[in-house]
Homo-oligomer: A and B are copies of this chain.
Amino acid sequence: MRIVLVGFGVVGQSFAKLLLSRSADLYSQHGVKPRIVACVDNKGSAISPAGLDLERLLMAKKKGTVGMYEKGAAKFDPLHIIENVDAEVVIEATPTDLTTGEPGTSHIISAMRTGKHVISVNKGPLALAFPSLIELANYNGVMLRFSGTVGGGTPILEFAKRCLKGDRIVSFQGILNGTTNYILSKMEEGLTYESALADAKEKGYAEAVPSLDTDGYDAAAKLVIMANWVMGMKVTMKDVARTGISGVKVSDVKSAQSRGNAIKLIAACDSRILEVRPTEVSKKDPICVNGTLNAVTFSSEHSGQQTIIGRGAGGMETASAVLRDLIEIRDTVFER
| Consensus secondary structure, chain A interface | mixed
Given contacts A155-B164, A159-B163, A163-B163, contact A303 B286 (CB under 8 A): no
Q: Is A238 an interface residue (CB 8 A)?
A: no
Given contacts A155-B163, A163-B159, contact A304 B317 (CB under 8 A): yes
Tell me the count of chain A residues lying within 8 A, CB to CB, of chain B. 45
Flag if A166 contacts B323 (CB, 8 Å).
yes
Flag if B303 contacts A153 (CB, 8 Å).
yes
Q: Which of B165, B166, B307 contacts A310 (CB 8 A)?
A: B307
Mark the stretch among A51-59, A198-206, A240-248, A288-296 that contacts chain B: A288-296
Flag if A165 contacts B314 (CB, 8 Å).
no
Q: Is A305 an interface residue (CB 8 A)?
A: yes
* Chain B residue at smallest Cβ distance from A291: B284
Q: Which of B303, B316, B317, B324 contacts A320 (CB 8 A)?
A: B303
Measured between C-beta atoms, what is the minimum distance from A95 to chain B in Å?
A: 22
Measured between C-beta atoms, what is the minimum distance from A130 to chain B in Å?
A: 21
Flag if A290 contacts B295 (CB, 8 Å).
no
B-contacting residues of A (Cβ < 8 Å)? 18, 25-26, 30, 153-155, 158-159, 162-168, 284, 286, 289-290, 293, 295, 300, 302-311, 314, 316-317, 319-321, 323-324, 326-328, 335
